[in-house]
Amino acid sequence: MAEGEILKWMAKEGDQIREDQPLVEITTDKVNVQIPAPRSGKVLQILAREGDVAKVGQTIMVIDDGGSGGTSSPPPQAPRPVPATPPPSQPQASNAAQAVLATPATRRLARELGVDITLAKGTGPQGRVTDDDVKVLVQASRPSQATAQATPPAAGGAGEKEEVVPLRGIRRKISERMLKSLQTTAQVTHVDEADMTELVLLREALKGSAEKRKVHLTYMPFIIKALIPALKDFPYVNASLDEQGGNIILKKYYNIGIATDTEQGLVVPVVRDADKKDIFELAGEIEALADKARHGQLSLDEVRGSTFTITNVGAIGGLFATPIINIPEVAILGLHKIAKRPVVRDGRIEVRDTTYLSLTFDHRIVDGAYAARFTAKVVETIQDTKKLLSEVL
C-alpha cells in the first residue's frame, strides 16, 4: 500500500476523541478500510479533505493528547505543511497567499473555487483559514439574486440537465487501474464457444447435495475447476511480468479472482488455492466473498494475490465482451450468457446449451496460438463431464 484516498472523516476539528474509535475511512485497492484513533485527545487539525489522496506516512490529522508538550493549538514555531507546487496550468500562489495560515487542502479548495484566500477571515486556531471560511468567501462573492435574475441562462446551458458526480472512492480506483492496464499491456481477446449442455445437467444433479451443505451452486465453481488443468498445462497464462527485473514469473499456485459487481463498483475478491478445494467449498467461498464485497466488508488480503481472474456477465446478458486484464496478471476470462442455440453434431442440427468464452491476454507474454490452445483446453474440460467430475469432487 503506497497511498489511500480519504473517503470519509468521522470526526471534525475540535472534537474530543477516544483511542481506537473509528476516525477516518479510506479507500485503497478497491477496499474501504476504517482507521481507528491512535490515542485519545482533541482534534486540532485535519490536514486532508475527503477526496484527497494521502501517501503512506503523510500526516493527515493533528491530535492533542494532553500529555507533556501537548497544547490546545499548534505552537507558533511548529512547521506547517507547504502546498505542493501547482501544475503549469495553475498560477503559483502569491507571497500574500503563502503567508495565510491554511492547510494545503484548504488552499487548493480556494484555487478550485476561484477565490482569493487572502480575503478570507480565518476562524480556526491562531486565525487559520478553514474550508468553511473559504466557502463563506465564495458565497459573499456571488452576485445578488436580482443581478442573477437579470441575466438569463444561455441557451443550451447545463442547469438542471447535468449532475456533477465526484470521481472518488472505489470508482476512482477502478478508473486508475483500468487505464493503467490498457496503457501498460498489449491486450488481445480470443473468443471460443463451449457446449454447456452436459454441464447444465451436472449442475442440476449436484444441486441437492449443495443445498444439504447450505451453499448456492452456480456455474462459477465448475468453470474454476475446468480452468485448473488448463492453467497447469499452459503456465504462461497463470503468470505475471516483472518488468524491472526482466523476468516472467510463472505461478505454481492458483488464486482465482472473481470480478464482482457491487453498488460501489467492480471489486475482485480472491479464492485462494482453488485447485485444493472441491466444488462445494468453492461455491461456499465464492458466495461468502461476494456477500462481503457487496457490503463493503472485504479485507485487503481478500482482494490481493490473484493469479488469474474470471468475470461473469452471463446473468446480465449480451453475446460476448472483451474484458480488461486485472494487472499484474497476464490474462482474464470472460463468461457469458448460456443460451439454447442450434448446433451441428454428426451432420445434424441439434438445440444445445452453449456459451461464449472470451480470453483477454497480454500479447507480450502469451502468443495468439498459445492463448487459443489454452481456451480450447478449458472448453474440452467443460464439455467432458467425466474429466470435469474428476476435477470438481
Catalytic residues: 363
Q: What dihedral do alpha carbons 385, 387, 390, 393 form, nearest 10°?
A: -30
Q: Cα dihedral angle (241, 277, 221, 269), rounded to 10 degrees?
A: -50
d(CA 62, CA 125): 12
Distance CA 213, CA 13 (A): 51
The dihedral sign for the CA sequence 190, 235, 286, 302: negative
DSSP designation for 221: H
∠ CA 96-98-101, nearest 5°, is 105
Q: Are 45 and 91 in contact (CB under 8 A)?
A: no
Question: Which residue's entry shows cell 510463472?
Answer: 250
- 188, β-bridge pairs: 361
Q: How far is CA 173 from CA 44, 179, 312, 330, in A?
A: 30, 10, 21, 20
- The DSSP letter of residue 270 is E
Whether residue 297 contacts residue 290, with contact meaning beta carbons closer than 8 Å, is answered with: no
Distance between CA atoms of 87 and 327, rounded to whole angstroms? 29
CB 74 within 8 A of CB 126: yes
Distance CA 312, CA 307 (A): 17
